[in-house]
């Protein structure tokens, strides 16, 4: 590794580390006097739930008030060690560990949330406690080392539309002493941190000039039965007005979503379809609505949440009364030209080379494209120019013919 690359990697890691400190919550599980699990982490939960008039998406941050629940344990024969962190009104995050002679891992990651809690789930139509889990966590480390993953990584809970995003993680189970081991097992995302130039990251203070056009990402939502129900190919750029810590004033942050590190999820229902994109500390959710009578769909809601380190507070805004990207059921909506979609007075979304189809997708591919007016206008320009040129040629020709006739007539008079 070159010296410059190593320096960049360290800078990125330091940045991520600082980030982690900003929101990290610490937990310690003890059995009598001996500590068996210690964890420092930030987590956010993307949860979709039903309301009387559709689906709503929330991004809940694990609050610093979260505590180690009495359900936690260091384990015993036949019982695995568990960290259960409870927060708010009946919510909890659970990590069950297992080990072999070399490695320990998170065997089961679970989230319990209480839809009765209207502070997190306003207007929820169901009033129940939901528990979801997965055993595909990808979290493992060598025994007697600290698992370190400062980069953010998202884990989807078993076949659901709930995603947990961890960042700034330092933790250890089966601890040989009361302190985190100094030796670390670094997750692969952190090892690849060198490929993410810090200047391109939305985790740096976005300052003008605006970045170049965003890359186009392909985001598909799949049904429970495995068929694609929503297709979206688009480049996205966020325009966020927020108060900058470093500049001590309100600034406009122009940030591109980077497809290769954006994870996505979604949900398709009869008349609503949702797409959620997560790029590090930026979450963006789209809700589309279908009018069954008119067989027309449109983008009805956009929500964004961002927790960039230069912000004094996380930025969360949305608007559920939008009417953008209107198309016909079974067809796709296309707009190659850049579109600016104002959402609130502090947030707008710029789309580039967009093609979406939120309903009536057949055979995993886009239906006939309906082009936006701007594309049609752009198509008109060459036609108008062509017509104008043809007209000009005609005028010149007529003028020439008339002129020739006149001069011909002139000869005859002489
Ligand atoms: C825990 O530590 C305290 C003081 O350090 C000691 O008095 C107590 O006996 C210890 N308890 C156990 C179960 O080791
Ligand atoms: C749902 O309906 C309630 C009242 O019935 C309204 O206050 C709320 O804004 C609606 N939400 C959406 C997303 O349309
Ligand atoms: C995972 O943990 C949750 C909560 O402790 C539990 O309800 C669930 O049964 C566990 N799943 C598996 C596969 O062990
Ligand atoms: C971990 O540390 C404990 C106590 O220091 C030791 O007994 C054990 O052999 C170590 N295990 C590994 C895999 O290094
Ligand atoms: C998959 O499920 C959707 C509705 O959820 C249904 O319309 C479609 O026919 C199903 N496809 C298959 C192949 O079962
Ligand atoms: C960002 O939004 C502001 C309005 O809030 C607008 O003046 C500015 O041109 C936008 N910038 C870009 C690059 O879209
Ligand atoms: C930020 O700006 C305000 C007024 O514009 C000033 O009072 C304050 O001292 C500044 N803070 C810093 C840290 O520069
Ligand atoms: C993501 O894309 C950028 C720009 O194309 C590239 O420089 C970077 O290496 C990619 N990162 C990963 C992890 O693939
Ligand atoms: C659906 O479209 C029909 C016909 O254009 C219109 O009358 C009706 O109000 C629309 N329904 C909704 C919920 O927007
Ligand atoms: C939401 O969008 C609508 C339509 O573009 C707009 O009239 C309204 O002011 C927006 N609401 C907020 C809170 O910005």
Check if 94 has its Cβ closer than 6 Å to any atom of ligand 3. Answer: yes
Check if 225 has its Cβ closer than 6 Å to any atom of ligand 1. Answer: no
- Ligand 2 centroid vs 320 CA: distance in angstroms? 9
Check if 260 has its Cβ closer than 6 Å to any atom of ligand 1. Answer: no
Q: How do the domains of the chain map onto residue ranges?
A: 21-191, 210-388
Higher pLDDT pick, 201 / 357:
357
Higher pLDDT pick, 215 / 77:
215
Q: What is the pLDDT of residues 118-175, one digit of tens each?
A: 999 989 999 999 999 999 898 999 999 999 887 667 788 887 768 888 888 899 999 9
Say whether domain 21-191 belongs to CATH 2.40.160.110: yes
Q: What is the distance between the alpha carbons of residues 292 and 1, in angstroms, rounded to a whole number?
A: 58
- Ligand 7 centroid vs 241 CA: distance in angstroms? 18
Ligand 1 atom 9, closest CA: 33
Q: Does residue 9 carry a pLDDT above 80?
A: no
Q: What is the pLDDT of residues 287-322, one digit of tens each?
A: 899 999 999 999 998 988 887 777 777 787 888 899
Check if 341 has its Cβ closer than 6 Å to any atom of ligand 10. Answer: no
User: Sorting pLDDT into bands at 50, 70 and 90, what band is 197?
Assistant: very low
pLDDT for the residue 190: 67
21-191 and 210-388 share one fold: yes
Average pLDDT value for the chain: 83
CB-based contact 97:110 (threshold 8 Å): no
Mutate to test the pocket of ligand 10, among 289, 317, 319, 341 (most ligand atoms within 8 A of CB): 319
pTM: 0.54
Ligand 10 atom at minimal distance to the Cα of residue 317: 13
Q: What is the pLDDT of residues 230-274, one digit of tens each?
A: 999 999 999 999 998 888 899 999 999 999 888 888 778 888 888
pLDDT for the residue 262: 87
Residues 84-91, mean pLDDT to the nearest whole number: 96
Mutate to test the pocket of ligand 4, among 141, 144, 183, 185 (most ligand atoms within 8 A of CB): 144
Check if 322 has its Cβ closer than 6 Å to any atom of ligand 10. Answer: yes
pLDDT for the residue 211: 65
Q: Give the pairing type, strands 34-51 and 249-256.
A: unpaired
- Ligand 2 centroid vs 143 CA: distance in angstroms? 51
Q: Does residue 5 carry a pLDDT above 90?
A: no
Residue 372, C-beta contacts closer than 8 angstroms, at least 6 positions apart: 333, 334, 335, 337, 339
Check if 291 has its Cβ closer than 6 Å to any atom of ligand 9. Answer: yes
Mutate to test the pocket of ligand 10, among 240, 287, 321 (most ligand atoms within 8 A of CB): 321
Higher pLDDT pick, 71 / 282:
71
Q: Does residue 360 carry a pLDDT above 50?
A: yes
Ligand 5 atom at minimal distance to the Cα of residue 226: 1
Q: Does residue 205 carry a pLDDT above 70?
A: no
When mean pLDDT is compared across 36-50, 134-148, 394-408, the lowest value belongs to 394-408
Rg, Å, the chain Cα set: 28
User: Sorting pLDDT into bands at 50, 70 and 90, what band is 336?
Assistant: very high
Say whether domain 210-388 belongs to CATH 2.60.40.10: no
User: Sorting pLDDT into bands at 50, 70 and 90, what band is 217?
Assistant: very high
pLDDT for the residue 199: 31
Closest ligand, as measured to the CA of 321: 10
Check if 336 has its Cβ closer than 6 Å to any atom of ligand 4. Answer: no
Closest ligand, as measured to the CA of 240: 6
Q: How far is CA 353 from the centre of its chain?
A: 18
Ligand 10 atom 9, closest CA: 344
- Ligand 6 centroid vs 198 CA: distance in angstroms? 23
Bridge partner list, 42: 167
When mean pLDDT is compared across 64-78, 113-127, 372-386, the lowest value belongs to 372-386
Q: Does residue 73 carry a pLDDT above 70?
A: yes
- Ligand 5 centroid vs 223 CA: distance in angstroms? 7
């Amino acid at each position: 590794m070159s010296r410059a690359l190593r320096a960049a990697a360290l800078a990125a890691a330091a940045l991520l580390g600082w980030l982690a400190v900003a929101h990290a919550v610490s937990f310690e599980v003890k059995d009598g006097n001996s500590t068996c699990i210690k964890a420092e982490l930030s987590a956010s939960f993307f949860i979709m739930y039903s309301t009387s008039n559709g689906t709503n998406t929330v991004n809940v941050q694990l609050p610093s008030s979260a505590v180690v629940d009495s359900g936690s344990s260091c384990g015993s024969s036949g019982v695995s060690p568990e960290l259960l962190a409870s927060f708010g009104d009946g919510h909890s995050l659970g990590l069950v560990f297992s080990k072999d002679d070399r490695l320990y891992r998170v065997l089961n990651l679970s989230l319990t949330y209480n839809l009765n809690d209207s502070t997190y789930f306003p207007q929820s139509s169901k009033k129940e406690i939901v528990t979801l889990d997965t055993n595909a966590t990808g979290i493992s480390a060598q025994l007697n080392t600290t698992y370190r993953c400062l980069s953010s990584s998202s884990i989807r809970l078993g076949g659901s539309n709930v995603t947990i995003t961890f960042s700034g993680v330092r933790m250890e189970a089966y601890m040989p002493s009361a302190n985190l081991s100094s030796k670390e097992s670094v997750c692969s995302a952190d090892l690849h941190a060198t490929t993410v130039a810090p200047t391109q990251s939305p985790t740096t203070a976005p300052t003008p000039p605006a970045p170049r056009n965003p890359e186009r990402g392909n985001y598909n939502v799949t049904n429970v039965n495995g068929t694609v129900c929503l297709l979206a190919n688009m480049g996205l750029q966020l325009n966020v007005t927020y108060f900058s810590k470093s500049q001590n004033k309100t600034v406009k942050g122009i940030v591109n979503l980077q497809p290769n590190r954006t994870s996505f999820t979604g949900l398709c229902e009869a008349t609503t379809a949702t797409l959620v994109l997560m790029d590090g500390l930026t979450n963006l959710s789209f809700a589309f609505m279908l009018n069954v009578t008119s067989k027309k769909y449109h983008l009805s809601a956009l929500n964004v949440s961002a927790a960039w380190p230069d912000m004094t507070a996380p930025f969360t805004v949305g608007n559920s009364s939008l009417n953008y990207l209107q198309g016909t059921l079974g067809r796709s909506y296309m707009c190659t030209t850049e579109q600016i979609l104002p959402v609130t007075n502090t947030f707008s979304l710029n789309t580039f080379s967009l093609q979406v189809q939120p309903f009536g997708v057949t055979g995993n591919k886009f239906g006939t494209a309906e082009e936006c007016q701007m594309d049609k206008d752009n198509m008109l320009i060459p036609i108008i120019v062509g017509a104008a040129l043809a007209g000009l040629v005609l005028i010149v020709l007529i003028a020439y013919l008339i002129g020739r006739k006149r001069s011909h007539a002139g000869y005859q008079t002489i």
